[in-house]
Amino acid sequence: MALQVGIVGLPNVGKSTLFNAVSNSAKAQASNYRFCTIDPNVGLVDVPDERMTKLAELVKPNRIVPTQLEIVDIAGLVRGASKGEGLGNKFLGNIREVDAIIHVIRCFEDENVLREEGAINPVSDKEIIDTELQLKDLESIEKKLQRTEKMAKTDPKAKAELEVLLRCKTQLEQGKSIRALGLEKEERTAIADLFLLTEKPVLYVANVDEASMHTGNKYSEALTEAVKAEGAQVIVMNNTLEAQIAEMEAEDDKLMFMEEYKMTEPALNRLIRSAYKLLNLDTYFTAGVQEVRAWTIHKGWKAPQAASVIHTDFEKGFIKAEVIAYEDFIKYGSEAACRDNGKLRIEGKEYIVKDGDIMHFRFNV
């Protein structure tokens, strides 16, 4: 499942620094000037999951394979991006391709870091990006409205689509994002082909100075208050420190560094887990001597769909699934012990996979 999370924000707020910290497979140039990033950088990030470590302690596999997300570092947007300012159309197109957004917002003062928007104001910065995304979405909605209005006169399906499009238009004209409109699943089909920017789920990163990394500051507090109505999460972190931790190869060095800064884990771990949840994803595991591996599925998937992420043949020839709940596996210590204690279940095609299930599929092709 190639799901992507895009990192967005104004220029010089710490996007590329965050990307470098979070990515396992690519590095972005992070410099103190406008449009340092033009073409999006794409990297893979392991999703931290302590359940894998506990399973590995019991199974003692040859290797551990975590699940991953794709992270995309998108160039800084500027005021007027929806009209093409600062290569805005190109950058907005990059956002259109991702599944969720991490919006990085500057919440620190540093006269050495360039800033075009005057005094530090995270709420205003957020609104600049929101406005540009909303204006671009409004443009997309209005284009489809022109086509749909004609068809709605004779086509009941088009008439239903028209009603949804008009609600979206009103929402955007009021300076509100589509994700806050609360569209039902059936209603979202009316705009599915538009890949609207403000429909994507969003997670905010308040990039603070070192002194504020544990407690936050007046800027991060203002941002948190501003996004309350969205029900969105704000992760407070210092992107530069996180990048330094990520560059350390020795685990002991990382632990010493984090101890010095009174950190129990990198803030990146919280960010990645939150991004994973933002995409409405679950994880199931396969556990054996060869490997303990995490597999990503959408919440609510049935067993055959879950099997398909291993191989499409598993879905085509699905017979049944052997399932052990994670808590039971940890309690009894092995697959054999779970079977002996009646904790290994046989499930069919209608079984909805639960987060943390340990699974083995039987199939015939």
Show binding-site residues for ATP.
12-17
Looking at the chain, which runs of residues are DSSP E strands?
4-8, 41-46, 63-65, 68-73, 100-106, 202-207, 234-237, 281-287, 291-298, 318-324, 345-347, 358-363
Q: Please report, in range form, the residues annotated as the binding site.
A: 12-17
211: left (phi over 0), alpha (psi -120 to 50) or beta: alpha
* Helices 88-96 + 122-151 axis angle, to 10: 80
Residues, the chain:
365
CA torsion sign for 87, 84, 147, 152 is positive
In this structure, which amino acid lies at residue 323? V
| Token duo for residue 319 | 């017979």
The DSSP code sequence of 235-258 is EEE-HHHHHHHHH--SHHHHHHHH
| Token duo for residue 125 | 């910065």
| Token duo for residue 148 | 């749909």
In this structure, which amino acid lies at residue 297? I
In this structure, which amino acid lies at residue 97? E
Residue 284 DSSP SS3: strand
What is the Cα–Cα distance from 294 to 330, expressed in whole angstroms? 16
Closest CA to 49 of 270, 241, 235, 254: 270
What is the Cα–Cα distance from 313 to 202, expressed in whole angstroms? 35
| Residues contacting residue 311 through CB under 8 Å, at least 6 positions apart | none
What is the Cα–Cα distance from 356 to 294, expressed in whole angstroms? 9
118: left (phi over 0), alpha (psi -120 to 50) or beta: left
